[in-house]
């Protein structure tokens, strides 16, 4: 059987890369969370995408069921071809970080790329057990051609 490499383009086996975060291990830094969210989109793990989005994020939807359906439809219609992490702004100890990345996707057989600078927060949400976790807060799309 062929060993599956991680969809986040790390060239590592999925189980040793983002898979461990999908199974519940907290992502230790903004880049790990960003990569694991890309992999989750690629694998249609929409609950992981939802659970790692801050509830107050502009991307968050008030209704989980319709948000799930929307994400599933998006994942089904999209091939997540490649991720390139261009830049990370975060130092250990900081509870906010930024990751700039370029994603290459295919929709309707048309490949396209976008570059985004995402903001992440280390937080304990109401009802959450254990240590604070990293969450996706929001993203800003940057000019093409990075």
Interaction site with Zn ion (CB under 5 A): 6, 8, 10, 17-18, 35, 39
| Least separation in angstroms between CB 10 and Zn ion | 5
| Least separation in angstroms between CB 122 and Zn ion | 20
| Least separation in angstroms between CB 136 and Zn ion | 16
Closest to Zn ion by CB, 10 or 67: 10
Question: Got the DSSP string for 78-92?
Answer: EEEEEEEEEEEE--T
* Rounded-to-integer distance, Cα 80 and Cα 50, Å: 18
Closest to Zn ion by CB, 3 or 129: 3
* Rounded-to-integer distance, Cα 56 and Cα 35, Å: 21
61 phi/psi in degrees, rounded to 5: -110, 145
* Rounded-to-integer distance, Cα 86 and Cα 114, Å: 12
| Least separation in angstroms between CB 109 and Zn ion | 25
100 phi/psi in degrees, rounded to 5: -105, 130
Closest to Zn ion by CB, 29 or 39: 39
| Least separation in angstroms between CB 35 and Zn ion | 5
Closest to Zn ion by CB, 18 or 105: 18
Closest to Zn ion by CB, 18 or 75: 18
* Count of other CB atoms within 10 angstroms of residue 34: 28
Cβ-based burial of 125 (10 A; exposed 0-12, middle 13-18, buried ≥19): exposed
């Amino acid at each position: 059987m062929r060993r599956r490499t991680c969809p986040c383009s790390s060239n590592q086996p999925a189980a040793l890369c983002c898979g461990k975060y999908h199974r519940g291990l907290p992502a230790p830094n903004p880049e790990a969370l960003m990569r694991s969210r890309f992999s989750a989109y690629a694998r249609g793990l929409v609950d992981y995408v939802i659970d790692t989005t801050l509830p107050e994020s502009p991307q968050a939807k008030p209704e989980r069921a319709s948000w799930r359906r929307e994400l599933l439809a998006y994942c089904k219609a999209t091939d997540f071809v490649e991720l390139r992490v261009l830049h990370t702004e975060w130092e250990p100890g900081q509870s906010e970080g930024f990751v700039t990345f370029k994603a290459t996707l295919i929709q309707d057989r048309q490949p396209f790329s976008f570059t985004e600078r995402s903001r992440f927060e280390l937080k304990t949400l109401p009802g959450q057990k254990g240590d604070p976790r990293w969450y996706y807060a929001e993203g800003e799309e940057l000019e093409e051609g990075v």
